[in-house]
C-alpha cells in the first residue's frame, strides 16, 4: 500500500491506495479542514507560520501517523503547496514535523504543482492540446500542454482562502468585494500573456470548482455527474447569491459546508481566469496534484 498526505491551504488530506496490476486503487480518504493559510503571518523577516499554525499542523499529522501505523506495509509521502512556500521558519517546521511524526515534507514549487496537476489528468484528456487551471487555497497555477509536454506554466499567489482572508471584511463577501476580487484576479491573469492556442475549455482542478459542481447540481437542476460548467451557469450561481443569498448559503451548507467561506472567492477567481483567457467553460476533475505526484513518483521507482 502507498499513502500520500497533501498539506494544502484549506485542507490537509490523506489518501491510501493499493498497488494492483500496474495501477493505484483508492482504499481510504480522510481530510481535515484547518485553513493553514490563515496562520501565515508577517514580520521583518518575511512571512512565517505562527506557533498556533505549527501546533495545528502537528496535531493533524499526528492523527495521520497513528492511522498509518495501524496499516500493514504502507509507504507514506507528504507534500505541501503554497501554504508552506517561502516561510521564514520553514526549516524549523520541517525539522519539528520530522522529529515528532517521522514525516519528511516535500514542499512543491508552483511549477511542480502545475506539472503534477496535469500529470493526474493526462490520461483522461480528450484533446491533444489543452489548458489547465488549478485554483487552490493559497495560489493558482495555469499551464498549457500538448500531449505529455507542458508548453508553458504560470503560478501566482492568489487563492480562495488567501483572497477571503485579505479581501473579505465580514463572513460573506459583498457585491463590491466580489467585484474587487474579480478585477484583481483578471488583471493578474491578463498580465501573464498566456498563449491559450484558441482553447475555449479549461481543465479545472481544485476544491472550489468541485464544490461549484455540487452547488450547481443542487441550484441549477443539473445532473451531479455533469463535470462541465459554462460561464453562463457560473453567472447564474452568482446571481442567485446576490438575489437569494439565504437559499444560496443554505444549499452550500448542505452540499459543501467546509467551503462556505471560500467558494465565492474561488468562484470569482476562476471566473476571472476564464474571462482573461477567453474561455467559456471549465471541465472539473476529482483528481489533482496529490494523485499526479504519487503516480509520477511510483513510475519513476518502477512500481507502475
Q: What's the mean pLDDT in 161-178?
A: 95
Alpha carbon distance 136, 6 (integer Å): 12
The predicted pLDDT at position 50 comes to 96
Whether the model clears a pTM of 0.95, i.e. scores above it, the answer is no
Percent of residues, the chain, with pLDDT higher than 70 = 100
Q: What's the mean pLDDT in 257-285?
A: 96
Residue 21 has pLDDT above 90, yes or no: no
| Cell 439565504, residue located | 246
Alpha carbon distance 190, 247 (integer Å): 34
The predicted pLDDT at position 35 comes to 86
Q: Please name the residue ranges forming H helices in the chain.
A: 51-69, 90-101, 110-121, 160-167, 175-191, 207-219, 231-243, 245-255, 263-277, 289-300
The predicted pLDDT at position 302 comes to 87
- Short-list 303, 299, 293, CA closest to 105: 293
> What percentage of the chain's residues is helix, strand, coil (to nearest 5)?
50, 25, 25
Average pLDDT over all residues of the chain: 93
Percent of residues, the chain, with pLDDT higher than 90 = 82
The predicted pLDDT at position 145 comes to 87
Which residue segments constitute the domains of the chain, with CATH numbers given?
2-107 (3.30.420.40), 111-284 (3.30.420.150)
- The 10 Å CB-count burial string (b at 16+, else e) for 243-253 is eeeeebbebbe
Which element (helix H / strand E) includes 75? Answer: strand 75-80
pLDDT tens digit string along 49-76? 999 999 999 999 999 999 999 998 899 9
pLDDT tens digit string along 124-141? 777 778 899 999 999 999
Amino acid at each position: 500500500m502507498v499513502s500520500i498526505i497533501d498539506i494544502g491551504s484549506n485542507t490537509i488530506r490523506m489518501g491510501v491506495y493499493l498497488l494492483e496490476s500496474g495501477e493505484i486503487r483508492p482504499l481510504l480518504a480522510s481530510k481535515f479542514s484547518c485553513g493553514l493559510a490563515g496562520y501565515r503571518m508577517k514580520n521583518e523577516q518575511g512571512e512565517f507560520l505562527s506557533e498556533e499554525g505549527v501546533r495545528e499542523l502537528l496535531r493533524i499529522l499526528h492523527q495521520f501517523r497513528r492511522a498509518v501505523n495501524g496499516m500493514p506495509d504502507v509507504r507514506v509521502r507528504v507534500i505541501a503547496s503554497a501554504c508552506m512556500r517561502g516561510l521564514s521558519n520553514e526549516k524549523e517546521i520541517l525539522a519539528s514535523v520530522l522529529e515528532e511524526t517521522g514525516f519528511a515534507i516535500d514542499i512543491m514549487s508552483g511549477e511542480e504543482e502545475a506539472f503534477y496537476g496535469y500529470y493526474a489528468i493526462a490520461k483522461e484528456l480528450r484533446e491533444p492540446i489543452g489548458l489547465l487551471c488549478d485554483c487552490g487555497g493559497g495560489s493558482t497555477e495555469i499551464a498549457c500542454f500538448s500531449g505529455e509536454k507542458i508548453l508553458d506554466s504560470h503560478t501566482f499567489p492568489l487563492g480562495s482562502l488567501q483572497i477571503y482572508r485579505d479581501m473579505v471584511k465580514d463572513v460573506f463577501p459583498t457585491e463590491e468585494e466580489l467585484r474587487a476580487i474579480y478585477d484583481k484576479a483578471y488583471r493578474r491573469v491578463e498580465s501573464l500573456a498566456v498563449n491559450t492556442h484558441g482553447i475555449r475549455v479549461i481543465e479545472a482542478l481544485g476544491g472550489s470548482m468541485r464544490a461549484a459542481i455540487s452547488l450547481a447540481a443542487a441550484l441549477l437542476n443539473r445532473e451531479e455527474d455533469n463535470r462541465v460548467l459554462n460561464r453562463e451557469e457560473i453567472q447564474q450561481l452568482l446571481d442567485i447569491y446576490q438575489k437569494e443569498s439565504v437559499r444560496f448559503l443554505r444549499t452550500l451548507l448542505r452540499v459543501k459546508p467546509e467551503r462556505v467561506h471560500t467558494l465565492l472567492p474561488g468562484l470569482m477567481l476562476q471566473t476571472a481566469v476564464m474571462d482573461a483567457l477567453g474561455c467559456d467553460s471549465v471541465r472539473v476533475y476529482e483528481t489533482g496534484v496529490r494523485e499526479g505526484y504519487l503516480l509520477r513518483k511510483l513510475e519513476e521507482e518502477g512500481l507502475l
